[in-house]
Amino acid sequence: MLDTTAHMLLLLQQAKIKNERPVDASFLPLSLSMACLLRQLPAGLAPPAGGLSFHQLDRLPQEVLERKLAAMLLDDPLRAFTLVCALVKYTKVTRELLSICHDHMSNRVSTVDATQSVVQAVVEALPPLDADVEGDDDDGDEEVEKQEDKPVERPVQEATVKVDAKMTGPSQLSEKLTTSAVATDPAGIMRRAVGRDVGDGSTVLEIMKKFPTDVRIQSHGVRALKGLIRSVVDSEAKKASAESFPTTVSTHEEEDEEDHTEDRHLEDQKTEKSSRLMVQMVIDTMKQFPESLALQRDGLLCLAEYANQADEHIAIITSSGGIISLIDAMVALPDDIPANMAGLSVLAHPKIADESVVRVNPESRRLVLSAMERFPLNEQVQGLSCLALANLSLRQDASMLEIVSKGGLEIVVESMKRFSSTALVQAAGCWFVAIISGNNEGMKTACLDVGALPVCEKARLRFPDDPKVQQHAVQAIQTMLPGEVIEGDDSSTPETCSLQ
3 state SS for 223-287: HHHHHHHHHHHHHHHHHHHHCCCCCCCCHHHHHHHHHHHHHHHHHHHHHHHHHHHHHHHHHHHHH
Run of H or E residues at 478: helix 467-480
Task: Report the distance separating Cα 298 and Cα 296, nearest Å.
Answer: 6
Same-domain check for residues 211 and 108 = no
Sequence-distant (6+) residues with CB within 8 A of 451 are 413
Same-domain check for residues 406 and 482 = yes
The pLDDT value recorded for residue 153 is: 42
Give domain status of residue 473, yes or no. yes
Domain end residue (candidates: 125, 140, 163): 125
Sequence-distant (6+) residues with CB within 8 A of 388 are 344, 347, 348, 352, 364, 368
The pLDDT value recorded for residue 496 is: 54
Same-domain check for residues 466 and 364 = yes
Same-domain check for residues 121 and 196 = no
Task: Report the distance separating Cα 153 and Cα 206, nearest Å.
Answer: 34
Residue 355 neighbours by CB distance under 10 Å? 8
Task: Report the distance separating Cα 325 and Cα 389, nearest Å.
Answer: 19
Residue 85's identity, in one-letter code, is C
**Cα 232 to the center of its chain, rounded Å:** 8
Give domain status of residue 134, yes or no. no
This prediction's pTM: 0.61
Q: Nearest 5°: phi and psi at 38?
A: -120, -55
Apex CA 466: angle with CA 463 and CA 467, to 5°?
130
Give domain status of residue 82, yes or no. yes
Give domain status of residue 308, yes or no. yes
Task: Report the distance separating Cα 136 and Cα 184, nearest Å.
Answer: 13
Task: Report the distance separating Cα 350 and Cα 307, nearest Å.
Answer: 11
Q: Which of 408, 432, 407, 429 is nearest to 418 (CA)?
A: 429
Give domain status of residue 369, yes or no. yes
**Cα 419 to the center of its chain, rounded Å:** 34
Same-domain check for residues 341 and 362 = no
Count up the domains in the chain and report the number. 3
Run of H or E residues at 75: helix 62-75
pLDDT tens-digit series, residues 316-371: 888 888 888 999 999 999 889 999 999 999 888 877 766 555 455 677 888 899 99
Question: Where residue 486 sits, what CATH number does that domain have?
Answer: 1.25.10.10
Counted residue by residue, the chain has a size of 500
The pLDDT value recorded for residue 151 is: 43
Domain end residue (candidates: 348, 370, 387): 348
3-state secondary structure (DSSP) of residue 163 = helix
Give domain status of residue 27, yes or no. yes
Give domain status of residue 309, yes or no. yes
71-79: long-range contacts, CB 8 A cutoff, minimum separation 24:
71/238, 79/48, 79/50, 79/51
Same-domain check for residues 191 and 335 = yes
Exposed/middle/buried for residue 75 (C-beta within 10 Å: 0-12, 13-18, 19+): exposed
Same-domain check for residues 19 and 51 = yes
Q: Nearest 5°: phi and psi at 98?
A: -65, -35
Same-domain check for residues 367 and 336 = no
Domain end residue (candidates: 98, 125, 152): 125
Same-domain check for residues 107 and 18 = yes
Same-domain check for residues 202 and 309 = yes
Tell me, what DSSP letter sits at residue 420?
T
Same-domain check for residues 386 and 470 = yes
Sequence-distant (6+) residues with CB within 8 A of 191 are 49, 50
CB contact at 8 A, 300 and 339: yes
CB hemisphere CA count around 131 (13 angstroms): 0
CB hemisphere CA count around 467 (13 angstroms): 7
Write out residues in the chain with pLDDT < 70, as ranges. Answer: 1-2, 11, 15, 39, 43, 50, 127-181, 233-261, 263, 353-361, 484-500
3-state secondary structure (DSSP) of residue 171 = helix
CB contact at 8 A, 224 and 200: no
| Continuous H helices in 376-466 | 379-393, 397-405, 408-418, 423-437, 441-449, 452-462
CB contact at 8 A, 368 and 327: no
Give domain status of residue 175, yes or no. no
CB contact at 8 A, 341 and 380: yes
Q: Which of 234, 429, 469 is nearest to 348 (CA)?
A: 429
Range of the domain at 420: 358-499
Same-domain check for residues 318 and 385 = no
Residue 265 neighbours by CB distance under 10 Å? 10
